[in-house]
């Protein structure tokens, strides 16, 4: 493994994985039909219609407004939770921290299905209970509204803001907060005038990151916007490419519009991240964080975290269990339980095939991502290969591309190849989309490993490849495990790209659940959602065991 050879391997590989699909998406936006259509020709009509006509501009406006509100709500919620767990004497803080990030393990699409069961205007379980107990006549909870969509999306994006801001708070020297308290500033005054200004770059970064995610999200709007009459660009991409009359050119043109929005959001996110250097407060001396005593607010604040956990995890899973196992003839107060729905779904051939496909994608994707991410990080961070900046930029490029948009590009790239309609095309799309996460985690792990250990290996005659496998890989094991589990979760629950690349031979559980919901069969969709959650839990447990055993044997 030589420094001169690696760029010639990595740059073409990353270009084919990431840049070529984006290029084909732009090409498709200027085509009158699909690439397989012999009469297709170059045209500006699709792009002109998407960028200038009123229906698409209205959809653009509603997408931006909803994404902005979601980013505001999720960021405010995340910074509040981060402050409570990092700076206060909140009871059971370790448990609270785990509960706050728990929604990352639940697919937003499955969560949207659950909230459709809970908060639909007429038959939602919460509305049924409200009418029975309190005599209400209208819908107390209605998720099929713009405000309902904002709330549900904010619930599942809040952990991203929490993780970003909590890390900044833990790395912050608390001496300034202590000085403010000594000079008579109260809890709220210190938080508003000292703490928040210092973590402002992290807060702004979280806002723009969530804004980009919300602009390109497909799962939650696809479930909830049908009755709300709120249009989303990501849903329009799917409808243009998967419903009759199919218009691949319009889908690609909408994808380019989402792409430019994401690029601008990511640019703002990176600017905010760079600006964080002006707010560095970590010093060479040690310090101990001073916890704010909440006094009588201690348990009410714990209750606030509990409300979030109930809304994001407890109620959705109860709704899924109800939909999956309650018979139609019963009521919420006198349920009649049945295993017929679960038995019918779990014994069907299509669910068995989708489960196998999901496992294949879920195991292959994170393994390839971790391997490729570690190789890229080693080449850029340790070997300092030529064109390191280009390799870093191309690897991170897919972060700026929403899943539904990248799925459009992958479709245009592989539609005329044998890979289309197979598991391989899903793996290619998922690896390209998630390798940035594995790369960044691997890069951070390398920063924490003393180079002297690797240099000793090189001095003893081992080459770069052997040093990577025998020294670096075992030492980076915890970070690699985290990267593998993160990508596994993303791959198993991914629907945005998968829904555009699916065929009869490569249906995965997330797409199958979407198909059931599309046909109005909510109980089957709920059963598949529970099965998907079980696979996520089993994969996380198995991943921890395999990484511990396999890598520990190499030490």
Q: For 434-460, give the DSSP string.
A: HHHHHHHHHHHHHHTS-HHHHHHHHHT
Cα–Cα dist 249/46, whole Å: 6
Q: Output phi, psi for 337, to 5 deg.
A: -85, 150
Written as six digits, the tokens of 420 are 């289309």
Reference 18, options 385, 324, 464, 409; nearest CA is: 409
Domains and CATH numbers, the chain: 1-36+360-506 (1.10.3720.10), 58-105+143-248+259-282 (1.10.3720.10)
User: What residues contact residue 222 under an 8 Å CB cut-off, 6+ apart?
Assistant: 109, 112, 234, 235, 238, 514
**Can you give the pLDDT at residue 108?**
86
State the virtual CA torsion across 453, 456, 457, 460 in degrees, nearest 10: -170
Q: Tell me the torsion sign for CA atoms 532, 103, 62, 248.
A: negative
Written as six digits, the tokens of 505 are 């031979």
Cα–Cα dist 518/451, whole Å: 54
Hey, which residues does 42 pair with through a beta bridge?
31
Tell me how far apart the 2 most distant CA atoms of the chain are, in Å. Answer: 80
User: What residues contact residue 411 under an 8 Å CB cut-off, 6+ apart?
Assistant: 241, 248, 420, 500, 501
Q: How many residues does the chain have?
A: 555
Q: Output phi, psi for 91, to 5 deg.
A: -65, 145
Reference 115, options 482, 525, 399; nearest CA is: 525
Residue 543 Cα to chain centre, angstroms:
19
**pTM above 0.85?**
no
Q: Which residues of the chain have pLDDT under 50?
A: 1, 276-286, 550-555
Reference 525, options 109, 145, 222; nearest CA is: 109
């Amino acid at each position: 493994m030589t420094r001169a050879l690696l760029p010639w391997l990595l740059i073409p590989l990353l270009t084919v994985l990431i840049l070529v699909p984006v290029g084909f998406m732009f090409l498709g936006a200027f085509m009158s039909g699909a690439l397989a259509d012999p009469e297709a020709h170059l045209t500006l009509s699709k792009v002109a219609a998407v960028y200038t006509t009123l229906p698409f501009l209205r959809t653009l406006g509603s997408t931006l407004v909803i994404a902005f509100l979601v980013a505001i709500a999720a960021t405010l919620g995340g910074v509040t939770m981060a402050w409570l767990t990092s700076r206060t004497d909140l009871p059971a803080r370790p448990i609270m921290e785990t509960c706050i990030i728990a929604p990352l393990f639940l697919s937003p699409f499955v969560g949207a299905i659950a909230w459709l069961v809970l908060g639909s205007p007429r038959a939602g379980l919460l509305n049924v209970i409200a009418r029975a107990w309190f005599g209400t006549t209208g819908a107390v909870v209605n998720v099929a509204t713009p405000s309902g969509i904002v709330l549900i999306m904010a619930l599942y994006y809040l952990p991203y803001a929490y993780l970003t801001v909590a890390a900044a708070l833990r790395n912050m020297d608390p001496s300034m907060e202590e000085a403010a308290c000594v000079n008579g500033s109260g809890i709220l005054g210190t938080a508003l005038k000292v703490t928040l200004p210092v973590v402002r770059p992290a807060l702004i970064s979280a806002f723009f990151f969530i804004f980009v995610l919300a602009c390109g999200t497909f799962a939650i709007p696809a479930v909830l916007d049908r009755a709300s009459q709120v249009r989303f660009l990501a849903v329009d991409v799917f409808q243009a490419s998967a419903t009759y009359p199919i218009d691949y050119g319009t889908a690609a043109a909408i994808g380019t519009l989402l792409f430019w929005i994401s690029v601008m959001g990511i640019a703002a996110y990176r600017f905010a991240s760079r600006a964080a250097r002006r707010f560095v407060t970590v010093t060479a001396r040690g310090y101990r964080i001073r916890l704010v005593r909440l006094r009588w607010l201690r348990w009410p604040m714990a209750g606030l975290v509990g409300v979030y956990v109930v809304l994001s995890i407890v109620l959705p899973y109860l709704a899924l269990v109800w939909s999956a196992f309650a018979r139609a003839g019963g009521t919420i107060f006198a349920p009649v339980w049945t295993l017929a729905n679960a038995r019918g779904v779990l014994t069907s051939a299509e669910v068995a095939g989708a489960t196998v496909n999901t496992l294949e994608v879920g195991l292959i994707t994170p393994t390839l991502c971790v391997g490729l991410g570690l190789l890229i990080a080693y080449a850029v961070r340790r070997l300092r290969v030529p064109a390191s900046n280009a390799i870093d930029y191309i690897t991170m490029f897919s972060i700026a591309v929403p899943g539904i948009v990248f799925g459009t590009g992958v479709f245009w790239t592989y539609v005329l190849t044998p890979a289309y309609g197979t598991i391989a095309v899903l793996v290619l799309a998922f690896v390209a989309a998630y390798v940035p996460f594995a790369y960044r985690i691997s890069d951070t792990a390398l920063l924490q490993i003393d180079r002297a250990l690797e240099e000793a290996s090189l001095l003893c005659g081992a080459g770069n490849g052997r040093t990577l496998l025998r020294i670096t890989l075992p030492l980076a094991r915890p970070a690699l495990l985290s990267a593998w589990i993160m990508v596994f979760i993303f791959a198993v629950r991914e629907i945005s790209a998968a829904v555009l690349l699916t065929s009869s031979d490569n249906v995965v559980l997330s797409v199958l659940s979407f198909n059931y919901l599309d046909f109005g069969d909510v109980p089957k969709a709920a059963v598949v959602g529970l099965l998907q959650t079980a696979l996520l839990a089993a994969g996380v447990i198995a991943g921890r065991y395999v990484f511990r055993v396999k890598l520990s044997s190499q030490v």
